[in-house]
């Protein structure tokens, strides 16, 4: 049953256990059609398991998935036709040429003859890889392999494209090329689910972000929403003047949540009192504000606030 007004992806109570270990707890998510949605989290957060369930590669232990209104569990064939998967690994036959790879993967979706040739041509065009298509993939650079990996997921023109860590191990030029491809696909109306542990990719590419940790979605929304809800800009104040006054001002600021570094640097973080209140307290103590530097809050700060650790930390 297809409901045209349905989101591109809908997950309800989705979870996966491997024996006694829960890889993904229970996820509820909606990804609107034409939206680029990031699953952000450290290694082991459950992103790949979630994506694997979404692509029909792994059977969920609980919950259900809808792709463009089609429930994956009840009609996997119809749902899978609408999904393109770009696995985290370079999922290609390195001994074959790009053309041979794409012919094979296209045939899995029932493409053949002139249609297959046309789709191969278009997919290679999208990822900017029309040269050297008859050479063995093993002769390609890492970036070229990544782009070909994406092309193989585009052949059947999926309405939902799932990209699992698509820029791991690529050079900046290839990364920019992949970004351009993702933006072009989103602009063309493709729903994109983009898994990454690179904060800047989620910020640069995606309309909304779900932060995953330990198999759960711990927050979701647009990047500004997440930053506003879970962090705020940080300020560093350098104190000067009479040492006794500096010490008293520091004590007062720290009592309000600020932290002191090197005897004269006050760090005003998300949990501190407001900046005006802190500066007022400093002046009351007779100390002098020598310098003020501000740092804009980022998704990284929000992630730190939500999980208590940096994104690149191992789980």
Partner 1 sequence: MIRAVIAKDVGLLLRDRGALLSLFALPLVFILVFGSIFQEGPDRNEARPVAIWFAAGDARGAAIAGALAAAPGFAARTAGSPEEVRQLVATDAVAAGLVIDPDRDAAIELVIDLAAPLQARGPLEGALTAVVLRALVPAALRIEARSPPGRGPPRAQASAFQIAVPANAVLFGFFLALTVATSLGSERRTGVWRRLLAAPVLRGRVLVASLVPYFLIGIVQLGFLFGTGVLVFGMEVAGSVSALVAVSLALVYCAVSLGLLFASIGGSERQLGAFGSVVLLVMGILGGCMVPRALMPAEMQAIGLAVPHGWALDGYYDVLVRTGTGIAEVVPAVGALVGFGTVFAMFGVAWFRFEE
Q: How far is the CB of 17 from partner 1 (least distance, A)?
A: 12
Q: How far is the CB of 19 from partner 1 (least distance, A)?
A: 13
Q: How far is the CB of 239 from partner 1 (least distance, A)?
A: 55
- Comparison of 102 and 266: residue with beta carbon closer to partner 1: 102
- Comparison of 158 and 281: residue with beta carbon closer to partner 1: 158
Write out the residues near partner 1 by the rule CB under 8 A: 52, 55-59, 76-78, 80-81, 83, 85, 87-96, 100, 103-105, 107-110, 136, 152-153
- Comparison of 110 and 263: residue with beta carbon closer to partner 1: 110
243 Cβ neighbours under 8 A, 6+ residues apart: none
What would the two tokens of residue 301 be?
């700060």
- Comparison of 51 and 279: residue with beta carbon closer to partner 1: 51
Closest to 84 in 3D by CA, of 162, 141, 5: 162
Q: Are the CB atoms for 266 and 239 separated by under 8 Å?
A: yes
Q: How far is the CB of 119 from partner 1 (least distance, A)?
A: 14
- Comparison of 89 and 131: residue with beta carbon closer to partner 1: 89
Q: Are the CB atoms for 38 and 210 separated by under 8 Å?
A: yes
Q: How far is the CB of 267 from partner 1 (least distance, A)?
A: 44
3-state secondary structure 59-103: CCCEEEEEECCEECCCCHHHHHHCEEEECCCCCCCCCCEHHHHHH
Q: How far apart are CA 93 and CA 138, in angstroms?
A: 8
Q: How far apart are CA 239 and CA 242, in angstroms?
A: 10
């Amino acid at each position: 049953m297809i409901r045209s007004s349905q989101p591109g992806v809908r997950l309800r109570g989705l979870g996966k256990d491997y024996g006694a270990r829960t890889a993904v707890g229970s996820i509820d998510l909606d990804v609107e059609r034409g939206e680029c949605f990031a699953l952000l989290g450290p290694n082991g957060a459950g992103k790949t398991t979630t994506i694997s369930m979404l692509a029909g590669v792994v059977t969920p232990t609980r919950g259900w998935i809808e792709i463009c209104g089609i429930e994956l569990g009840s009609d996997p064939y119809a749902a899978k036709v609408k999904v393109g998967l770009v696995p985290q690994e370079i999922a290609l036959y390195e001994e074959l040429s790009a053309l041979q790879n794409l012919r094979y993967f296209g045939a899995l979706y029932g493409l053949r003859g002139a249609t297959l040739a046309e789709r191969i041509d278009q997919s290679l065009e999208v990822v900017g890889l029309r040269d050297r298509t008859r050479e063995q993939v093993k002769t390609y650079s890492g970036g070229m392999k990544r782009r070909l990996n994406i092309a193989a997921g585009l052949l059947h023109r999926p309405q939902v494209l799932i990209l699992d860590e698509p820029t791991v191990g690529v050079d900046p030029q290839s990364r920019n090329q992949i970004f351009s491809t993702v933006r072009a696909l989103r602009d063309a109306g493709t729903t994109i689910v983009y898994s990454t542990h690179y904060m800047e990719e989620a910020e640069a590419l995606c309309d909304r972000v779900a932060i995953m940790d330990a198999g759960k979605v711990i927050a979701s929304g647009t990047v500004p929403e997440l930053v506003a809800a879970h962090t705020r800009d940080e300020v560093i104040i350098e104190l000067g003047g009479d040492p006794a006054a500096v010490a008293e001002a520091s004590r007062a600021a720290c009592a309000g949540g600020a932290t002191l570094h090197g005897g004269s640097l006050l760090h005003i973080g998300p949990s501190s009192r407001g900046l005006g209140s802190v500066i007022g307290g400093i002046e009351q103590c007779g100390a002098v504000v020598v310098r003020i530097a501000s740092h804009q809050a980022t998704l990284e700060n929000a992630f730190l606030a939500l999980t208590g650790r940096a994104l690149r930390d191992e789980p």
